[in-house]
Structure 1
């Protein structure tokens, strides 16, 4: 199956609005960029007129332009191999692709071969989540990775000693990619499902919930996370801007969460809560 890659140039203040609008017309994956937002949709579902209508709707409020191109599934690996460089997280974790080697020894090594899925550690929000994971105990814990993308956070949980890791994503490619990456990293305690948090089958409770998603989804789902975490449970969040912290913290507090940690990689932010 081929995908359409839509590249939208838009100011950061409109990124969340745009993502919500594109999700309504079938876009499945998003990536914040220096210039705006990249969105991905199966080619057979793409309707340029719908995209044009959305951009026209906001054109009187902000500067917004777009381009799009077809991404052939068979060519995806070739494209990312051209620019995918290994990275180090917190001087403790090496994130690399399967074709990288001879990069030194670190306490944790994660191999990620991405397809169309978000989450290689290069984006600030993924790096923030990994840093948060390095700072809390996972040993013997049951962990849920919400909107797992490549499965990188679930893999970190496995490597940090989690007893069981459940992961899910709405994107078919993300599910397929996570399975492959779990196998690459020998994560036998991790399972993956496709669907939303209200569709997949989950355990009654978890010790840690990981959610690296956009602001609107987090504000919708934080009450659900609260039902899955008992007292003492940890909630690790990212995928939003520093300016969104107050809204997220306010909602989380109404659900019984107290903030324990805050990290910033401007303009992105992450929060760690305890139930």
Structure 2
């Protein structure tokens, strides 16, 4: 698949401004991000990109910063080599879960080791939200549970849930790259109880789950929370991330509206993973 890379030059450039810009561009359809010393790099399938996207009011009229864009078409290529050279570094979460790529060899031993062939899918653990979700999974008892990994990306959350004892895992993503990548990563990690589907929340049907993970953009969470609640078993739990601390009251209000009770949250660099129970 051919991608378009948009290099974003911010003024003033700061960590929080980069996080805000990343969230805004995610809502505009950009599905992968990286950073350099000077830029935020956002990636989107070329078939979904037009220059008009960069003229969005949310980008042009932000009172906190100005942003200048530079675009470049990236032809289909060996994304493993791209990630190996530039983006994906081994990560140890809570000193218990090591996330690495097949090309990482000099890594520490850990209780859980997940090998991720990332390609262009989100979810290597290097982003705060994925880290928070992994940390939450490490604290759960998943023995015999029916688990949903919604917006699965690389499949990393579903894979860890399986390693932690989940009976079955259903992984769903709207992106075909993510769908294929989850299948590949499940095979790499010898996970056989994950069923992967290409689609959105409307694909869930009547199947019920004990645990749901949804690391997705804020607006999608707000839109799909009623569907998530409808497929949760009694006393089931959902852990959601992909939003900032200041968004938590809005997420919590919607969750309570559909019958879910808040059960705590974790925060990392202003990103949040929040837990709710039915």
**When the two structures are superposed, what TM-score results if normalisation uses the length of structure 2?**
0.88
Pair 1:60–1:86, CA change in 2 (3 A): closer
Say what the alpha-carbon RMSD is for the aligned residues: 2.3
Report the counterpart of residue 248 of structure 1 in structure 2.
Answer: 251
Following superposition, the deviation at residue 168 of structure 1 comes to 1.0
Asked if 2 retains the 8 angstrom alpha-carbon contact of 1:168 and 1:192, the reply is yes
1:191 to 195, 198, 201: 195
d(CA) in 2 for partners of 1:146, 1:57: 28
Alignment of 1:12-23 (within 5 A): 12-13=19-20, 16-20=23-27, 22-23=28-29
Asked if 2 retains the 8 angstrom alpha-carbon contact of 1:242 and 1:266, the reply is no
Asked if 1 retains the 8 angstrom alpha-carbon contact of 2:24 and 2:58, the reply is no
Is 1:54 matched with 2:56? Answer: yes
Asked if 2 retains the 8 angstrom alpha-carbon contact of 1:55 and 1:64, the reply is no
Asked if 2 retains the 8 angstrom alpha-carbon contact of 1:15 and 1:36, the reply is no
Gaps of 5+ in 1: none
Is 1:220 matched with 2:208? Answer: no
Is 1:65 matched with 2:68? Answer: yes
Pair 1:202–1:8, CA change in 2 (3 A): farther
Alignment of 1:121-160 (within 5 A): 121-160=125-164
Gaps of 5+ in 2: 11-16
Pair 1:100–1:245, CA change in 2 (3 A): same
Is 1:79 matched with 2:103? Answer: no
Is 1:206 matched with 2:209? Answer: yes
C-alpha deviations, 1:146-169, integer Å up to 9, x for none? 111100001011101111100111
1:41 to 23, 34, 44: 44
d(CA) in 2 for partners of 1:211, 1:60: 28
d(CA) in 2 for partners of 1:107, 1:52: 44
Report the counterpart of residue 13 of structure 2 in structure 1.
Answer: none
d(CA) in 1 for partners of 2:243, 2:104: 31
Secondary structure of 1:79's aligned partner: helix
Following superposition, the deviation at residue 43 of structure 1 comes to 2.1
Asked if 1 retains the 8 angstrom alpha-carbon contact of 2:91 and 2:98, the reply is yes
C-alpha deviations, 1:16-47, integer Å up to 9, x for none? 44433x23xxx5x1448698865433224432
C-alpha deviations, 1:163-192, integer Å up to 9, x for none? 110011111111111111000011100011
d(CA) in 2 for partners of 1:89, 1:13: 24
d(CA) in 1 for partners of 2:3, 2:260: 39
d(CA) in 1 for partners of 2:146, 2:199: 20
Asked if 1 retains the 8 angstrom alpha-carbon contact of 2:22 and 2:33, the reply is no
Secondary structure of 2:201's aligned partner: coil
d(CA) in 2 for partners of 1:185, 1:72: 29
Pair 1:158–1:118, CA change in 2 (3 A): same
C-alpha deviations, 1:103-135, integer Å up to 9, x for none? 333221100010110000010100000000011
Report the counterpart of residue 3 of structure 1 in structure 2.
Answer: 3
Asked if 1 retains the 8 angstrom alpha-carbon contact of 2:242 and 2:271, the reply is yes
In the alignment of these two chains, the number of paired residues is: 268
Pair 1:148–1:9, CA change in 2 (3 A): farther
Report the counterpart of residue 108 of structure 2 in structure 1.
Answer: 104
Asked if 1 retains the 8 angstrom alpha-carbon contact of 2:212 and 2:238, the reply is yes
Report the counterpart of residue 180 of structure 1 in structure 2.
Answer: 184
